[in-house]
Chains A and B, each alone.
Chain A
Amino acid sequence: MNFLKWRERALESVFLICALTAIVGVLLVFIFVTIKGFPIFEKVGVLKFLFSLDWSPSDNQFGILTFIIGSFLVTAGALALGAPMAIMTAIFLSEIAPKRVQKLVRPAVELLAGIPSVVYGFFGILIIVPVVRTLFGGSGLGLLTGWIILAIMILPTIATISEDAIRAVPKSFREASFGMGATRWQTIWRVVLPAAKNGLIGATILGMGRAIGETMAVLMVLGNAPIIPKSLVGPVGALTSIIALNMSYASGDHQTALFGMGIVLFMISFFFVALIRFVSRKRS
Chain B
Amino acid sequence: MAEAVHADAIQANMLSGDKIDVHDLDFYYGDFKALEDVTVGIKRNAITAFIGPSGCGKSTFLRSLNRMNDLIDGTRVEGTVLLDGKDIYAEDVDVVDLRRRVGMIFQQANPFPLSIYENIAYGPRIHGLRNKAELDTIVEDSLTKANLWKEVKDKLGQPGTDLSGGQQQRLCIARVLAVNPEVLLMDEPCSAIDPTSTQKIEDLMDKLKDNFTIVIVTHNMQQAARVSDYTAFFLAEDTNLPAKLIEYDMTDIVFTNPTDKRTENYITGRFG
Residues of A within 8 A of B (CB): 98-99, 170, 172-183, 186, 190-191, 194-195
Is B112 a contact of A183 with CB atoms below 8 Å? no
Question: Which among A98, A180, A182 has the highest number of chain B CB atoms within 10 Å?
Answer: A180
For residue B122, CB closer than 8 A to chain A, the reply is yes
- A175 and B113 CA atoms in complex are apart in Å by 14
Q: How far is the CB of A136 from chain B (nearest CB, A)?
A: 41
For residue B23, CB closer than 8 A to chain A, the reply is no
With A176-B172, A194-B113 as contacts: A181 and B106 at CB distance below 8 Å: no
Give 7 pairs: A residue, B residue, CB < 8 Å, sorted on A. A98-B73, A175-B68, A175-B106, A176-B112, A177-B126, A190-B122, A195-B113
Interface bracket on B: 20 to 34
Q: Which residues of A contact B98 (CB under 8 A)?
A: 181
Contact with B103, one of A173, A179, A190, A191 (Cβ below 8 angstroms): A179
Q: Which residues of A contact B122 (CB under 8 A)?
A: 177, 180, 182, 190-191
With A175-B106, A176-B175 as contacts: A181 and B71 at CB distance below 8 Å: no
Question: Which among B71, B98, B126, B179 has the highest number of chain A CB atoms within 10 Å?
Answer: B126
- A173 and B110 CA atoms in complex are apart in Å by 6
Q: How far is the CB of B4 from chain A (nearest CB, A)?
A: 32
Question: Which among A175, A176, A179, A183 has the highest number of chain B CB atoms within 10 Å?
Answer: A179
Q: A186 — nearest CB in chain B belongs to which residue?
A: B126
Is B110 a contact of A190 with CB atoms below 8 Å? no
With A172-B108, A172-B110 as contacts: A180 and B68 at CB distance below 8 Å: no
Q: Which residues of A contact B99 (CB under 8 A)?
A: 178-181
Q: B99 — nearest CB in chain A belongs to which residue?
A: A181
4 further A-B pairs in the complex, CB-CB below 8 A; given A178-B71, A182-B123 = A178-B99, A179-B66, A181-B179, A195-B112
- A173 and B123 CA atoms in complex are apart in Å by 13
Contact with B112, one of A98, A181, A191 (Cβ below 8 angstroms): A191
Q: A185 — nearest CB in chain B belongs to which residue?
A: B126
Is A178 a contact of B68 with CB atoms below 8 Å? yes
Q: Which residues of B contact A98 (CB under 8 A)?
A: 73
For residue B104, CB closer than 8 A to chain A, the reply is yes
Is A179 a contact of B176 with CB atoms below 8 Å? yes
Q: A98 — nearest CB in chain B belongs to which residue?
A: B73
Is B126 a contact of A182 with CB atoms below 8 Å? yes
